[in-house]
Amino acid sequence: MKLSWGFAVSSLVYAASAAQDGRIYILDPTPRASSLQAATTVDPATARLILAQRLGLARFHSIDKTCSDESLGQINAFGGVQQTLFGGEDVATQAHALVWIEGVDDADAVAGTPDSWTSSFTMAQPPSAADSKRLIEDMILQAQSLPEKPDPKGATYVSNEYIDFHLSKLRQPQLFNDYLTIFHLDLKSKDKVAKPSLEAISNAISALQAVEPKENRFAITLVVMPPTSSLSKRAASPYGTYDRPDQQGRGLVPTEAPMSLTTPEPATSPNPALPANMEGFPVFTQAEGNNTSPPLGILPRCFQSQSDCDKATNGCSGHGKCSMLHKGEPGSEGRKDCYGCICTPTVVKKGDADKKQHTQTTYWGGPACQKRDVSVPFWLFITSGVLFAFLISGGIGLLYSVGSEELPSVIGAGVSGPVRK
């Protein structure tokens, strides 16, 4: 009974830690109606793309071709209007405040009333504080590498003064490229710097929302993350892949392995592959048609539909076909349908037509059938090597045992002294 109670308590603790999600609140001077119809739960990779769109850093964050229509809709709904960040005609200021607070159990205690924000959404399974800090540092480098935009009326300068005045009461914020102010605070960090209370943070954010006159109001993005759980699993790239500018200004440095054979470049014209207001995002594309080149990167084992499987694996690299691996279970919490590649061997006939031909069979493996299956030759080589090593060592041991035996005593039987008469 004690064991069952202990197991129940540990399960509740784990469930409570896993149930904490990140919250992102958005305040735009010109709200968009599309944000009210979008799903309010996103994954970390989609949240990164939304932040990149809002901060004007879309050129460094490419949308993968496997991105679902739901994720594209969320980026389009919560990403804001790209032009407004850099002096659009409909907004007088291009200033933007990014406030990122880590280690908060109750997000509403920081954000205040939901009605004071244009929209908000949830980040499911948020990454650790260290991963979030790395993303913020990379976004800072991206903002610094952008060219400065003209501001003849000085509206951005005035707005930045408001931002600095209110946030400096908590801790001095940082301004990058004269338009982006980033305030990052980890309430659970072990540094000895005094940390403000949740009430003080909420009051400062409320003051940012109520800037007067209204012509000097600016876009605000508030990210509230829960404490990092020791039970949460770590991932290699929880926010996905993107490009980071070199600090010496020698170009872009990929933070992870590229997901395509093409190098993403800043878009110079509207991209027909993306919805409206998302032309700033480059897209990983490959040649249309019967493209069977092996896809790069880490691919999931299961896909939600056969079309997603064909698109992500390039038709299983031409070495198989996408089929249903197992059928899902009914119910929202049940197991969903799983589509994946079923590899087929490649048989090639070699030799002249007049002479005797022989066939060469190649087996394939991997989530996209992109890797040669060398398991049979490998085990044949290992087994043969072990067998030969056993025979050689046995022969040497047999020779050594024969050479170490004593000579028989019959050799000395014919040798005797003289006979006495």
The 10s digit of each residue's pLDDT in 322-357 is: 998 888 776 655 677 889 999 988 888 776 666 677
Distances 27 to 117, 253, 362, 407 between C-alpha atoms, Å? 5, 32, 57, 101
Residues in a beta bridge with 372: 364
Name beta bridge partners: 237.
Answer: none
Answer positive or negative: Cα dihedral of 19, 199, 27, 57.
negative
Distance CA 323, CA 321 (A): 6
- 67 half-sphere exposure, CB direction, 13 A CA radius: 29
DSSP-derived secondary structure letter, 368: T
Scan for tokens 């993303």, then name that residue.
135
pLDDT tens for 68-109 read: 888 888 888 888 765 444 444 444 578 899 999 999 998 889
Confidence of residue 402 (pLDDT cuts 50, 70, 90): confident
For residue 181, what are the β-bridge partners?
A: 97, 175
Angle at 45 between CA 187 and CA 274, to 5 degrees: 135
Q: What is the pLDDT of residues 229-278, one digit of tens each?
A: 654 556 677 898 888 886 554 455 555 444 444 444 444 444 555 665 66
Q: pLDDT confidence of 383, banded at 50, 70, 90?
A: very high
Question: Quick one: pLDDT at residue 97?
Answer: 94
* 9 has pLDDT over 50: no
pLDDT higher than 90, residue 410: no
Report which DSSP code applies to 53: H
pLDDT at 3 (0 to 100): 44
Hey, is 35 helix, strand or coil?
A: helix
Q: How far apart are CA 180 and CA 142, in angstroms?
A: 11
pLDDT at 141: 92
Query: HSE (CB half, 13 Å, CA atoms) of 279?
Result: 11
Tell me, what's the pLDDT at 18? 43
| 288-315 residue pLDDT tens | 445 667 777 778 888 888 888 888 888 8
Closest CA to 150 of 94, 105, 108, 201: 94
Six token digits for residue 20: 């904490």
> Residue 20: its pLDDT value, please?
81
- Exposed/middle/buried for residue 136 (C-beta within 10 Å: 0-12, 13-18, 19+): middle
* 200 pLDDT above the threshold of 90: yes
pTM summary value: 0.60
Q: Is the dihedral of CA 396, 397, 398, 400 positive or negative?
A: positive
Report the greatest alpha carbon distance in the chain: 147
Neighbours of 338 (CB within 10 A): 16
Amino acid 70 reads: E
Amino acid at 275: P
Cβ atoms 316, 338 nearer than 8 A = no
Beta strands across the sheet bearing 180-186: 41-42, 119-123, 22-27, 219-224, 96-102, 180-186, 174-176
- 164-185: pLDDT as tens digits: 999 999 989 999 988 999 999 9
State the Cα–Cα distance between residues 323 and 232, nearest whole angstrom.
33
Residue 358 has pLDDT above 90, yes or no: no
User: Per-residue confidence at 213, pLDDT binned at 50, 70, 90?
Assistant: confident
Distance (Å, whole) CA 223 – CA 236: 22
Tokens of 323: 């089929």
CA dist 20 and 249 (Å) reads 39
Cβ atoms within 10 Å, residue 399: 10
Q: How high is the pLDDT of residue 16?
A: 46
Distance CA 67, CA 184 (A): 29
| Residue 114 CA neighbour count, 13 Å, CB half | 6
Mean pLDDT of the chain, nearest integer: 77
In sequence order, the 6+-apart residues with CB closer than 8 A to the CB of 333 are: none
Beta strands in 51-177 (DSSP E): 96-102, 119-123, 174-176
